[in-house]
Amino acid sequence: MGRDVEQGAFSREDRVRYRQKVRRCLDVFALMLDDFGFDADRPMTGLEIELNLMDPAAEPAMRNEEILAAIADPLFQTELGQFNLELNAKPRLIEGTGFADYEQDLRSSLTRADERAAKSDARIVLVGILPTLTARHLVADNLSTNERYRVLNDQIVGARGEDLELDIRGVERLQTHTDSIAPEAACTSLQFHLQVAPDSFADYWNASQAIAGVQVAVGANSPFLYGRQLWAETRIALFAQATDTRPDELKAQGVRPRVWFGERWITSIFDLFEENVRYFSPLLPICEDEDPVEVLHAGGVPRLAELRLHNGTVYRWNRPVYDIMNGRPHLRVENRVLPAGPTVVDMLANAAFYFGLARGLAEADRPIWSQLPFSSAEENFHAAARRGMDAVLHWPRLGDVPVTKLVLDTLLPTAATGLDRFGVAPTERDRLLGIIEQRCRTGRNGAVWQTEAVWAAERHRGMDRDAALHQMARRYADLQRSNQPVHTWPVD
């Protein structure tokens, strides 16, 4: 939900009007898909990175408002927790040296922001979950002061009608309750945007769903929460549970969760928006004055504000996006499965792997989704989140295969083909996909490095878990600034 909200209490009339408006927007969207001119001539890409703020003691620094004012850059925004920021990279083409341009811009923006943060005794850390976070940090009082976060919290907690339960069983187990959505703030992600034409959207979304598990396995970077080692990518379970509006009875009835993988392959982007309207009640019933039917009939471009707001409160791991840029509408796949970090170059390697693999599979002669059951794609996703680089995934014609072998033997060549079709310079293609290759050959991603560093501190230096986590977080932040890929980082 990327818009400000001033209204906190909603009436029955608000909800009825909003539901009617959303359905009217959906009808207009269907008409637009039939014969409207969407911008898809040269597909743009985008990146969003959620950031953590850490103080010298390796504790979360609750100072985002102060630091954001010091940064004074519209590319940086607040996020849910006071120890979070978000950086929105400028959209661009990835042809030629587009990835190198991304890298230069991101490193420049982050260096400047880090210098401003240092004046507030904080530093920026790119990590899926800040490893020193505990229950005392993730409370409602530490939500960002923007009113939209309080309203969202009230609506989610109110819809559930009781405390939110966190129960994550991994290497160790975390079982607790929370009276707010503040634990969601622990989940800091890396999000990719890929602009696609209406007639190819389903292919790209289906391909993105098929590879979500692979992405998570090789990019996992969130093994610790509340002092416990849980999943390789704990963020997946935490985000789902911290925003779950369903009490146990509705779960038992099969009501869909708002953090949702989905349940089927699609044939059109309309399928996803229609599912959102059919299955999910409004969280933020805020209406605008625009009549989308009148705008469409007048030859304008409807904003479809209510449909877009509703879409923003259904947290699909691959989300459909309708947006308008320079007066022209366009569609995007928003890929939301990955954590932030460990370094800028690691994140761009993840980006190259995603963009290339998505295109390679979307344009394949025989679609992957015609061979892989949807349920297998979802099972792969959760197996990868739990096991990371050690995951065994199911893949057509290969059966159950270690994810590292799947990537090395099958998917890296497909990703390279996809990047070639985007026109990515061969040197950039090989540099970034080479990082993915070396992660798989060494068996080391961010999650593996974090757990090995903590184990080394505990076993070789006799530290307790809390001291080991704090030491690891400081070393992580230092090594991150080298921009050397995480598979090269020393453990001791």
Give residue 422's identity as a one-letter amino acid code.
F
Q: What is the pTM of this model?
A: 0.96
Name the β-bridge partners of 124. Answer: 53
Instruction: Report whether pLDDT(7) > 70.
Output: no
Paired tokens of 180: 């707010």
* Cα-based distances in Å from 218 to 350, 385, 444, 491: 8, 10, 8, 19
Give 224-278 pLDDT, tens digit per residue.
999 999 999 999 999 999 999 998 899 999 999 999 999 999 999 999 999 999 9
> What span, in angstroms and rounded, lies between the C-alpha atoms of 204 and 355?
10
Instruction: Report whether pLDDT(142) > 70.
Output: yes
Instruction: Report whether pLDDT(60) > 50.
Output: yes
C-beta of residue 322 within 8 angstroms of C-beta of residue 340:
no
Give 273-302 pLDDT, tens digit per residue.
999 999 999 989 999 999 999 999 999 999
- At residue 180, φ and ψ (nearest 5 deg) are -150, 175
Q: Look over the chain and give the mean of its residue pLDDT values, rounded to a whole number.
A: 95
> What span, in angstroms and rounded, lies between the C-alpha atoms of 357 and 412?
8
Instruction: Report whether pLDDT(4) > 50.
Output: no
C-beta of residue 419 within 8 angstroms of C-beta of residue 194:
no
Mean per-residue pLDDT, 145-151: 88
